[in-house]
Structure 1
């Protein structure tokens, strides 16, 4: 199981700080997913786009719940 370690959210420039922290923790996993897909013959651009679409879908679903 993957473990993420987030502290308290940044107070100043919250959006930028959140983005930086998420990128720091998620980038290695995303790179690993993309590398595995490419090694299996998938198109890197398509895999990255699918991940963006997945993130956007999750955002939209969560926004509807708020």
Structure 2
């Protein structure tokens, strides 16, 4: 079976997702792109805790 790299129609789906059984695809839903770029409190907390942990680790190795 030969497939082209360029899809000729917009309704073509990914081969793996098309091969999934119906009970698995039932729980899939599209995530809007805006939700992926939204900055949340968990993101800020993660960056701050990583920064503090790395600063303390570097300071501990220096001293």
Same fold? TM cut 0.5: no
Comparing both chains, which one has the higher relative contact order based on Cα–Cα distances under 8 Å and sequence gaps of 6 or more? 1
Q: Which category of TM-score, normalised to the shorter sequence, fits these structures? A: 0.3 to 0.5
When Rg is computed on C-alpha atoms for both structures, the one with the higher figure is 2
TM-score, normalised to structure 2, is 0.39
